Chains A and B, each alone.
Chain A
Amino acid sequence: MSTATDHLRPEPDEVDLRQPGLPPVARLATLTLALVVAGGIWMAAHYGHHATLVPAVALAVAGGLVLLVNVALLWRIPSFAWDVFFRVFGWALLAYLVIAGILEYVFIFDHTPSPQLTLFSVMLALFAVNVPMLLAFSVARYQPVPG
């Protein structure tokens, strides 16, 4: 058996030539998450009384746009471990739909007014799609590309 010192050599990710060429999917997904969370904080802080929804709508729209740009960038990656991506995405989507479903249940159960409920639902949908995409990309980017 070889010893550890026999193999002392740098093998950083920089030698993985795929990494620098990948679009900033993880960063954009984190930005989407931050926008959705900020919108959720605004909504929760003004829950139960009449306050303008404009900031929350703006944050949700911005989060949705960043998500769309991110999906487009992801789709354009020429060579990617899509099998791993969709496997992780599918299971993570199931898990986050359960979490988002529980939160949606709370809002419906509490008779949240329609405008707020709609906005909460949109934000939860963005959350439930964005996080699995981030997780799937974070795994698939390091996987060998078939073929």
Chain B
Amino acid sequence: MADTAVTETAVAESAVMETVVAETTGADRAVGVGAGAPDPGASPPEAQGGPPPPLEFSIVPVRGLPIVAVLLIGLIVAIGTNNLWALTFFHVGGGGLWTSIDLFLGLIIGPILGRLSIPARVEFTVRFMPKMLLIMPTLVAMTLGAGFQLARHLGNLDANYPHHGWLVASYIIVGVMAVIALGLLEPANLAVLFELKKPRPNGERIGRLMKIFVYTAGITGIMQIATILIMTFLASR
């Protein structure tokens, strides 16, 4: 009974999401003819006329690319010079931001997003998701690249290191997080952006993919707490 109610609510919400996505893109005017071949998963026509204009946004925020390039060059220089401060900066700074964003997204933004009106969700998604496409891989590369080099520099990779087991535990946690992030979170992120670019986005699909994105961000955020516990333990030894 409860399941049925939840399903009906989800279906109704999906339909509302779909409608509002269509209205946000101007699809209330016309959704009869798509720009390309018909998409079987898209909303059905409501009226006759031309296709609505797709949402105007860039899937990859080009203005952010120079910042990414500067950070990655800085990372390479830090590794190349083996500068302890620079390696610590990239590892701790990148890891702290990675953890904070995951936790903030999964535990704070996610529940708020679920309570926003549907047009607000679409507006937020269009502005937020492209930035995540640049921010997260950059932070992951910074954290892991600098972290490996830092551990090697400090001799933590050595099997004789007294807390080597804890380090291996952190590898396993990061590995599981990487599989979740690259296998589920990032594909969902990208698929949402391409769906929103369509003349007639499928609201049900966007809602489902956004749920995957927020839940997986929350799961990786919680796993990040375990990483923080291990890293702070190792740093204090």
Contacts and interface: CB of A to CB of B under 8 A. Distances in A.
B94 to A, nearest CB: 12
B158 A41 contact: no
A145 interface: yes
A125 to B, nearest CB: 16
A13 B137 contact: no
A64 to B, nearest CB: 17
28 contacts: A2-B19, A2-B23, A4-B19, A4-B118, A7-B19, A7-B46, A8-B12, A10-B204, A11-B44, A16-B39, A26-B183, A30-B184, A33-B179, A33-B183, A34-B179, A45-B164, A46-B159, A102-B79, A102-B141, A102-B145, A106-B145, A106-B148, A142-B41, A142-B195, A143-B39, A144-B42, A146-B36, A147-B37
Given A4-B19, A9-B15, A144-B38, 17 more contacts: A4-B118, A7-B18, A8-B12, A11-B15, A11-B44, A15-B41, A33-B183, A41-B168, A49-B158, A99-B141, A102-B75, A103-B148, A105-B76, A110-B152, A134-B187, A135-B187, A135-B190
B50 to A, nearest CB: 16
Interface in B138-190: 140-141, 144-145, 148-149, 152, 157-159, 164, 167-168, 171-172, 175, 178-179, 182-184, 186-188, 190
A12 B145 contact: no
Contacts of B191: 138-139, 142
Contacts of B34: 144
Interface of B: 11-12, 14-16, 18-20, 22-23, 28, 34, 36-44, 46, 60, 72, 75-76, 79-80, 118, 137, 140-141, 144-145, 148-149, 152, 157-159, 164, 167-168, 171-172, 175, 178-179, 182-184, 186-188, 190-191, 194-195, 202-205, 208
Q: Is the interface of A mostly helix, strand, loop or mixed?
A: helix
A103 B145 contact: yes
Q: Kindly state the interface size class of chain A when it binds its partner.
A: 35 or more
Nearest to B29: A1
B159 A49 contact: yes
Interface in A49-88: 49, 84, 88
Given A29-B183, A138-B191, A142-B195, A4 B37 contact: no
Given A7-B46, A33-B182, A44 B148 contact: yes
Contact of B60 (A5, A12, A91, A144): A91
B39 A144 contact: yes
A37 B178 contact: yes
